[in-house]
Structure 1
Amino acid sequence: MSQSVLYSNFRIRSWVPRGLVKALGLNVAIVDPYAEEAKEQFALDFPLKKLPAFRGPRGFKLTEQMAINHYLINSSENEKLKAQLLGAPTDIETQAEILRWESFGNSDLIIFLVKVFQPLVVEDVPYVKRDVDAAWKTLDVIVDVFDAKLKEYTYLVGEHITLADLVCAAAFTRGFNYVFGSEWRKQHPAIVRWFNTVRASDWIKDEYADFKFIDEPVKPPQATNKKKEKKKETPKAAPKAAAKKEEPKEEAPTESKKPKHPLELLGKPTFVLDEWKRKYSNEDTRPVALPWFWEHYNPEEYSIWKVDYKYNDELTLTFMSNNLVGGFFNRLSASTKYVFGCLVVYGENNNNGITGAVLVRGQDHVPAFDVAPDWESYNYKKLDPSNPQEKEFIDDMWAWDKPLVVNGETKEIVDGKVLK
């Protein structure tokens, strides 16, 4: 096909590119990538199937909303509209501000909105209260940044709608679809005013034909409670299996085999780790989960370790540091039956670090961690919960609700991962 093609669908990141094609009158066909007549060509052009996606003249291809937005706008011959959306060619400060807000909306805002609403509405995404609460905490900070700007100014940059407004308003939409109810809107009138102004503009108004604000946020699913009930009922069936005295004799030969994990040799502890993990996931951390932990914790069976990344001076963006933690935890999957903990990212872009506290079966950290190839990229220090300061550090690492003091400086926790 000689005509340029924009592949897009219902996803938020597709809205602005689609609106730009229409409003700027560009000679670009807007195509549903999963329509029967298009899906084969789309798969050939874009094997990763990321949306939106653009195929232009002479086989030129683009993915990522920001790149596509800028390409489409610069394809227009209307210099006035180009200057409005991207900033005047000579005004590099305005151009940078627009790009900054566009990036902020396309990454931080969307990412944490998804972390908040997806577990509420997507069946295959488990609802873990602790994780959703942590995402809400960061989302509130992001919202405050928008609120502070829009209380003083009509738009994010300058006196007209720019690409920054279009991208960020589209990103906010999922919040208004699922979690920003009437009470939230009363508390953020400046954001609501701005959002209504931008969505009514010619640029993206077609995307909001059926839009309605919600009154009440979507409630957490009830599946978690049902799962807990089922797990509590499981032990009732155990006596039948225990009544067969022949079974231990049949299984005895397997006892001489080498355990799959060295920590299996320590036997069955009295502290039930799975029960703690459920308590942590489903209850408020400070008032309920942590008191339960200290009441049931057995220091003879488990030790707790401070874990610090060795190369904090090499870290750059905070989300990349958090991805590094996620990769480390994935590589610890062979030990998840024997460990629990959190590593957090503190600080800001180009000045951040990784630290945390991890509960380990036994008194040696090595058998738990050396299953991960990169385990030696971290320092490990055994903590003493009878020491009030070290116990407070553990609580803070597992609650994420207080800033850290690092080398005498106060550092906010910006992200983190749970190992469970």
Structure 2
Amino acid sequence: MAAGTLYTYPENWRAFKAQIAAQYSGAALKVASSAPAFTFGQTNRTPAFLNNFPQGKVPAYQGDDGFCLFESNAIAHYLGNDVLRGATPQTSAQVLQWVSFADSEVVPPASTWVFPTLGIMQFNKQATEQAKEDVKKVLGVLNQHLNTRTFLVGERVTLADITVACSMLWLYKQVLEPSFRQPYPNVTRWFVTCVNQPQFKTVLGEVKLCEKMAQFDGASPSAKRFAEMQPKKDAPPKKEKAGKEAAKPQEKKEKKKEEKKPEPEEMDDCDAALAAEPKTKDPFAELPKSAFVMDEFKRKYSNEDTLTVAIPHFWENFDPEGYSIWYAEYKYSEELAEVFKSCNLISGCLLS
């Protein structure tokens, strides 16, 4: 029987999969999620940790025998038993099917929709609306499959149920209010059945379903939490200070930058290379400030319709004195079939 330690941070839904699997199999699992055993952002950057888990990601598992695993699905698989994994080749394949479904179909839209409400990702209106539609498709597939089934595979809980339920945990806790989940009664019945199993409850506690869809509001705690997580900008100089005092904020600003530099041992190779480059003076520093507010345009582009809102805003507010527009032709058009490739090439051109 497996015995070891799971390194993670508190409330990590990915770690829940391994913990629940261990509850079913009886594996002796210790969870290290707080100091002094484990401090996220510190312990996982140490040479000893990176020697076992090169990417420094959690959850990470280390057996008492020294056996190490990263990636939550692999850890849950190892800590489970034959019933959870699927006792036959057919059921094992079906379990793997739903585990993959969770990663590819559930997690991406769930993260896009839920993370802004938790204050750990910026809100994007278009992306959120698309995520809602994608979640509806996922719920539709699950609802149809569960129409004649209690669990996803077979008649008992498997890793399929554990993985998909954990992937949907924050959806049900944060945004799937009664009216949204009403068309998918089979999914909600299945989810409630799963989270009320003793093995789930031991890990998750009491799971309360969302009563009102959480929103990303600029004045909400989630928005404030997101703002607090962003790099802090230096405060502008106070108006009442003049003369020699007015010159001090720049000195303080430079001093703060020096103080904020990470210790050399925390730098990766890329950071170290960038830090070693000589600092050059901005050639545009002496130019007058443009009336065109780039951040305002970027907000329009990110949160509103591009053709009907963002582009008209650009042309209405563009400042030809402060900015210039360049037209370029790329010789190898066959390389531009994917938008992300085109963006990468353009970015490379701008940086070169």
In the alignment, does 2:111 pair up with 1:114?
yes
- Check 1:309–1:118 CA distance in 2 against 1; reply closer, same or farther (3 A cut): farther
State TM-score, norm by structure 2. Answer: 0.65
**Corresponding letter in the other structure for 2:349:** D
Q: CA deviation at 1:127?
A: 1.9
Aligned-partner Cα distance in 1 for 2:206–2:153: 28
Aligned-partner Cα distance in 1 for 2:328–2:179: 42
Aligned-partner Cα distance in 1 for 2:156–2:329: 50
Structure-1 residue corresponding to 2:58: 51
Aligned-partner Cα distance in 1 for 2:282–2:315: 33
Alignment of 1:37-116 (within 5 A): 37-38=37-38, 44-45=48-49, 46=53, 48-74=55-81, 82=82, 84-89=83-88, 92-116=89-113
Structure-1 residue corresponding to 2:215: 219
Structure-2 residue corresponding to 1:209: 205
Aligned-partner Cα distance in 2 for 1:283–1:120: 19
**Corresponding letter in the other structure for 2:169:** T
- The answer (yes or no) to whether the contact 2:16–2:203 under 8 Å persists in 1 is yes
% of aligned pairs identical?
A: 29
Aligned-partner Cα distance in 2 for 1:282–1:306: 29
- The answer (yes or no) to whether the contact 2:7–2:61 under 8 Å persists in 1 is yes
Aligned-partner Cα distance in 2 for 1:173–1:63: 21
Question: Structure 1, residues 268-289: CA drift from partner, whole Å, max 9, x if none?
Answer: 9997654432223333557644
Q: CA deviation at 1:12?
A: 0.5
Aligned-partner Cα distance in 2 for 1:117–1:309: 37
- Check 1:218–1:3 CA distance in 2 against 1; reply closer, same or farther (3 A cut): closer
- Check 1:163–1:211 CA distance in 2 against 1; reply closer, same or farther (3 A cut): same
Alignment of 1:6-405 (within 5 A): 6-8=6-8, 9-26=10-27, 28-38=28-38, 44-45=48-49, 46=53, 48-74=55-81, 82=82, 84-89=83-88, 92-122=89-119, 125-222=121-218, 259=283, 274-284=295-305, 288-289=309-310, 302=325, 310=335, 328=344, 332=347, 370-371=349-350
Aligned-partner Cα distance in 1 for 2:19–2:334: 43
Question: Structure 1, residues 80-133: CA drift from partner, whole Å, max 9, x if none?
Answer: xx1x322224xx2321121121122134412321111112221x6322223323
- The answer (yes or no) to whether the contact 1:23–1:202 under 8 Å persists in 2 is no
Q: Name the stretch that deviates more: 51-60 or 63-72.
A: 51-60
**Corresponding letter in the other structure for 1:30:** K
Q: CA deviation at 1:193?
A: 0.7
Structure 2's unaligned 5+ residue stretches are: 228-238, 240-280
Q: Alignment partner of 1:29: what SS?
A: strand
- The answer (yes or no) to whether the contact 1:18–1:30 under 8 Å persists in 2 is no
Higher relative contact order (CA closer than 8 Å, sequence separation 6+): 2
- Aligned-residue Cα RMSD (Å) equals 4.3
Structure-1 residue corresponding to 2:4: 4
- The answer (yes or no) to whether the contact 1:16–1:69 under 8 Å persists in 2 is yes
Aligned-partner Cα distance in 2 for 1:102–1:140: 19
Q: Alignment partner of 1:135: what SS?
A: helix
**Corresponding letter in the other structure for 1:88:** A
- Check 1:38–1:270 CA distance in 2 against 1; reply closer, same or farther (3 A cut): closer
Structure 1's unaligned 5+ residue stretches are: 75-81, 228-236, 238-256, 313-320, 333-368, 374-420
**Corresponding letter in the other structure for 1:106:** D
Q: Alignment partner of 1:221: what SS?
A: coil
- Check 1:258–1:311 CA distance in 2 against 1; reply closer, same or farther (3 A cut): closer
Q: CA deviation at 1:60?
A: 1.1
Aligned-partner Cα distance in 1 for 2:118–2:197: 29
- Check 1:34–1:107 CA distance in 2 against 1; reply closer, same or farther (3 A cut): farther
**Corresponding letter in the other structure for 1:163:** L
- The answer (yes or no) to whether the contact 2:17–2:166 under 8 Å persists in 1 is yes
Larger relative strand fraction: 1
- Check 1:55–1:186 CA distance in 2 against 1; reply closer, same or farther (3 A cut): same
- The answer (yes or no) to whether the contact 1:86–1:95 under 8 Å persists in 2 is yes
**Corresponding letter in the other structure for 2:16:** W
Question: Structure 1, residues 149-206: CA drift from partner, whole Å, max 9, x if none?
Answer: 2234332223332110111011111001211111112122111011011112233122
**Corresponding letter in the other structure for 2:197:** S
